[in-house]
Amino acid sequence: MTIYVGNLSYRATEADLKAVFADYGEVKRVVLPTDRETGRMRGFAFVEMLEDAQEDAAITELDGAEWMGRQLRVNKAKPREDNGRDDSRRGSWSRKQDY
């Protein structure tokens, strides 16, 4: 399972999130997505912990908690939905074509 953490302060770092979630168990991984163009954090993160029970405890305790001046949204991450695009064409603009 992966935890979604939303409404994050743009000042939050990977180390900050590891410290907060470590209170509930061992953190395996933290991902802080950034904007491709600006490199700025997007205001959410994904956290993976060693055991599901630890993740459940973190979700229960941290959802709605105030941290760095923001009220966190913490829940189980949902799988990415298909947006209807044909992924087989993705990136075809960059392929070299023979003429």
Model confidence at 80, in pLDDT bands (50, 70, 90)? confident
Model confidence at 83, in pLDDT bands (50, 70, 90)? low
Which amino acid belongs to residue 22?
A
pLDDT digits (tens, 9 = 90+) for 32-67: 999 999 989 999 999 999 999 999 999 999 999 999
DSSP annotation of 7? S
Q: Is 25 exposed, middle or buried (0-12, 13-18, 19+ CB in 10 A)?
A: middle
Q: Where does the chain show beta strands of DSSP type E?
A: 3-6, 27-31, 44-49, 66-67, 70-71, 73-76
Cut 0.85: pTM above it? no
Q: Are strands 66-67 and 70-71 parallel, antiparallel or unpaired?
A: antiparallel
- Around Cβ 7, how many Cβ atoms within 10 Å? 13
pLDDT digits (tens, 9 = 90+) for 2-39: 999 999 999 999 999 999 999 999 999 999 999 999 98
Regarding predicted confidence, which is higher, 3 or 95? 3
pLDDT of residue 84: 57
pLDDT of residue 85: 54
